[in-house]
Chains A and B, each alone.
Chain A
Amino acid sequence: MSLIVKNLQARVKDGPVILRGVDLEVPKGEVHAIMGPNGSGKSTLSKVLCGHPDYEVTGGSAQLDGQNLLDMSPDERSRAGLFLAFQYPVEVSGVSNANFLRAALKARMPEGEEPDAVAFYKRLRATMQRLGMDPKMTARAVNEGFSGGEKKRNDVLQMLILEPTCAILDETDSGLDVDALRIVSEGVNSLRAPFRSFLVITHYKRLLDYIAPDVVHIFHRGRIVRTAGPEMADYIEQHGFDFLKEDDA
C-alpha cells in the first residue's frame, strides 16, 4: 500500500505530453528518490499527483492508501495525506503563516471544530525552533518577502505541522546552504515512520546524503527508466546522466 502509480500519462492542458507512462510504488516506511536530468518531467509528476490544474491526465492511475487520487480535488488529496513541498513555494500575501497553518489544520477537522489555539502556538513555536526559524515569522505573510531558503524551510515547517502520510519533496534542497540543508533534512528525518512514505525529487546527490533513500529511481523523458538502490545516487554523482543516451539511441 501507500503510493501506487501505474502507467500514469499526462500533458500540459492543450500542450505537450510530459508524463509517458510512469510506474512507481512507494511502500509505507520507505523513502524513494527520483533523480533525472532537467526537463525530464520530475516536477510535473509531483504536480500531477497533487492535482495541479495546468495538467490533464490522459491515462493510467494513481492511488494513495487505496484511494484514487485522480478522482480527488487538490485539497481532498491533501486531506487524504498527500503533501508537496514545492520547488517554488508560493507567496500568499496578507495571510500570516500562523493563520494559514491554522486554517489548514482546521480544514482537516470536523466542521465547526478548531485547533486549540494555545496548543497550536506552542507546537508551532517549538517546530520553528527546530528548523531554526525566527519566531516572528508566525506573524509574517506566507512566504512573502522570504528568501529562497526561508521559503523551503517554511514548506518543511508546514509538512511537520500537517504530518502527511505521503510527502513529496520537489527539489527542496535547491536554494539551501549546507547548514539549512542539514536542519531541513533533520526535520524530514524526524517524520520518518513505518506508516509514512516519502518521494524525494532531486537533481543532486547531496540531499540524499542527509535523507537516505531506500530506492532511487531515474526519471527520463516522462518515465521511470531505472530503479536501483541508494548506490545509484553515487553513480550519478560521478557519471551524470550520460548513460541515458543509450536509451535514446
Chain B
Amino acid sequence: MTHDVDQNPLPPDTRGEFSFPEKHAFDAGYGLSEETIDYICDAKGEPDWLRDFRKAALRKFRDLPMPLHWAPEEIGGVDFEQIRYYLAQGTPAKKSWDEVPDEIKRTFERLGVPEQERAFLAGVDAQYDSETAYNNMREELSKKGVIFVNPTEGLTRYESIFRPWFGKVIPVGDNKFSALNHAAFSGGSFIYVPKGVKLAQPLQAYFRINSESLGQFERTLIIADEGAELMYMEGCTAPKYDSATLHSGVVELVALKGARIQYVTVQNWATNVYNLVIQRGIAMEDAQVRWIDCNLGSRLTMKYPAVVLRGRRARGEVVSISLARDGQLQDTGARMIHAAPETTSNIVAKSISIGRGRASYRGEVQVQRGATNCRNRTECDALLLHAESRTDTYPAISVHGDSSGVQHEASVSQVDEEMLFYMQQRGLTRAQAMSLAVNGFINDLVNEFPMEYSVELRRLIDLEMEDSVG
C-alpha cells in the first residue's frame, strides 16, 4: 500500500489523518498470471498460505468456463486480459474533478454532496471525513471486541477468526468469478461481532478511492457470533468513480446461532463498469440474514444475494431495487437455499426500466431434502417507463417434500401516457410526474433503507428522471 503524498492536494493539517506508507507505486499490469499474484502478495506482504491459496484459485479460474449457459450475452464484453489486477496508488485515481466523467460529476453536484465527499471521489479529502467517522466508531466498538478492518489486516491480525470462514460461504470454485476474486482480491471489509453484542448503529464502509482500496476485487467477510446483531452499509450512495471495467466483489456473511445481519448496498457505478458481485450469507439456527440491495449504475450488473438457511428456524430476506437506463442491463435477483427445517425466506424485488434499459429478475428458491415445513414468499414487480423498455423474469423453484410452501408473484406495469398526462394536467412537469410515479412504485421498499440512504435514493431517481426526459 502506497500513496504519492506529494501529489496529494490535501492541506498539510489533514494529512496526518492518513496512514500512508512510504512512497511507492505498484502496478501489476494487464492480465492475471502467477507472476501477477506474486506481485500482489509481495506488495501486500501476505503469508505463504494465502499465496498458495491465490494461485490455486487462479488455476480454478482458468479451468472454469464463463457461465454462458445462463449469463446474459453482455458478459462477453469482459476481457480478462484487458484488466489491471492490482494498482496501488497511481494513475487510475484522477487528481482533479475535470477528469471525472461529466455525468457522475454533475450528479454529485446536484446531489449537494459535501465538499469533503467530493474530494473523496478523487481519492483524498472525503476520505478524511469517512475516516474520522470510521475511527470514532471503531474505537467505541473495539471496546466491545468488535473487529472492523480490511481483509488483509483481518487475515494477518485475526487469522484464527478470519481463516475458518474465509472462502467457506462462497467457495473458490463456486463459479468463475468467485475463483477470480479469490485469486485477485484486495480491499473490502472484515468484521467480527462477538457473542451477544448488538450494534445500535450501523457500520458504514465507504469505498476509499486511494491506491489501497481502488481494488476491483473487494472482499468482505462478516461474522456475527451467537446472538450478535449488526447492520452494515456499503457507502456507494456517493457513487464511486472507477475507470476500471470490471468490479467483481465477493461478500460472505456468517450469522451464527440467533445472530442477525443486515447488509445494505446502494450501487451507483459509472455506466462502463461490469458489476459482477457474489453475495451470500449463511444463517444458523434462529439466525437472520437480510440483504437490502439497490442497483442504479453499471453497464451490466449480475448480482443475486443469497442466504443459505443452514439452521432450524433461520430466516433469509432480500429486498431489491434495480434501475436500468439506456445501455444498462440489471440482471439481479435472489437465492434462498432452505437446508434446514422450519426455515423461512422472503424476496421482494422491484425493477424499473427506462428507455432501452433492461432489468431481469433471476431467482432461485430451493428447499432441500429433509428441510421440512419451510416457507418462501417471492414477489417481483417490474415497471416499464417506455415502449422500448424491457424486463424478464427467470424464477427457478425446486422443493423437496410436501410440507413446505413456496409462493411466487410477479407483475409488470407501465407508466403510460394517460398517467403522465393526468399528472401534467395538475401542473407537474413530465420529469416530476415520472419521478413521482417511479417513487410511488418503489416507495414501500425505499422505506426499508436507512433514512439517509432513502433520501439519497429518491434524489438519485429524481435526477435520472430529469435526464431521461431531457
Contacts and interface: CB of A to CB of B under 8 A. Distances in A.
Contacts of B432: 75, 103, 107
Contacts of A51: 421, 424
Contacts of A77: 425
Contacts, number: 78
Interface in A125-168: 141, 158, 162
B422 A94 contact: no
Interface stretch (A26-34, A36-44, A85-93): A85-93
A73 B419 contact: no
Among A52, A74, A83, A84, residue most surrounded by chain B Cβ atoms (within 10 Å): A74
A90 B419 contact: yes
B137 interface: no
A204 interface: no
A54 B417 contact: yes
A78 B427 contact: yes
B164 to A, nearest CB: 45
B162 to A, nearest CB: 44
Interface in A25-83: 50-54, 73-75, 77-79, 83
The CB with the most chain A CB atoms within 10 A, among B418, B421, B427, B444, is that of B427
B428 A141 contact: no
A183 to B, nearest CB: 21
Given A92-B437, A100-B436, A103-B436, A73 B413 contact: no
Nearest to B428: A107
Contacts of A95: 436-437, 439-440
A156 to B, nearest CB: 13
Nearest to B435: A103
A93 B440 contact: yes
A75 B422 contact: no
B368 interface: no
Interface in B393-427: 413, 417-419, 421-427
B443 interface: yes
A77 to B, nearest CB: 8
Contacts of A103: 428, 432, 436
B204 interface: no
Interface in B421-459: 421-430, 432-433, 436-437, 439-444
B368 to A, nearest CB: 37
A74 B427 CA distance: 8
Interface residues of B, number: 24
Contacts of A83: 425
B436 to A, nearest CB: 5
Contact of B428 (A52, A75, A86, A91): A75
A91 B424 CA distance: 14
A158 B426 contact: yes
Given A75-B430, A92-B436, A100-B436, A84 B425 contact: yes
A120 B444 CA distance: 24
A73 B429 CA distance: 9
Given A93-B413, A93-B441, A94-B441, A75 B436 contact: no
A94 B437 contact: yes
A78 B424 contact: yes
A43 B442 CA distance: 34
A212 interface: no
Nearest to B436: A95
B427 A86 contact: no
A104 interface: yes
Contacts of A158: 426
A75 B440 contact: no
Given A74-B421, A89-B422, A90-B419, A108 B440 contact: no
B422 A141 contact: no
Contacts of B421: 50-53, 74, 90
A80 B101 CA distance: 38
Contacts of A141: 440
A92 B428 CA distance: 13
A108 B422 CA distance: 16
B430 A73 contact: yes
Contact of A94 (B424, B426, B429, B443): B443
Contact of B426 (A53, A54, A78): A78
Interface in A82-126: 83-84, 86, 89-95, 99-100, 103-104, 107-108
Nearest to B440: A94
- Chain B CB count within 10 A is highest, among A50, A53, A95, A104, for A95
Given A92-B436, A95-B436, A50 B425 contact: yes
> Which of B425, B429, B442, B444 gathers most chain A CB within 10 Å?
B425
A79 B427 contact: yes
B413 A162 contact: no
Contacts of A73: 424, 429-430
Nearest to A85: B425
A104 B440 contact: no
Interface centre among A53, A73, A75, A83 (most CB of B within 10 A): A75
Given A103-B436, A107-B432, A141-B440, A92 B423 contact: yes
A143 B425 CA distance: 15
Contact of A86 (B413, B422, B433, B437): B422
Contacts of B429: 73, 75, 107
Interface string B363-405: 0000000000000000000000000000000000000000000
Contacts of B444: 94
A92 B425 contact: no
A53 B413 contact: no
Contacts of A107: 426-429, 432
Contacts of B417: 53-54
A79 B425 CA distance: 9
Nearest to A89: B422
Contacts of B433: 75
8 contacts: A92-B440, A93-B440, A93-B441, A94-B441, A100-B426, A103-B428, A104-B426, A104-B428
Interface of A: 50-54, 73-75, 77-79, 83-84, 86, 89-95, 99-100, 103-104, 107-108, 141, 158, 162
Given A94-B440, A94-B444, A104-B428, 8 more contacts: A51-B421, A73-B429, A75-B425, A91-B419, A100-B426, A103-B428, A107-B427, A108-B427
Q: Report, nearest first, the 7 A-B pairs whose CB atoms are least far apart.
A: A94-B440, A90-B422, A95-B440, A74-B424, A78-B427, A107-B427, A104-B426
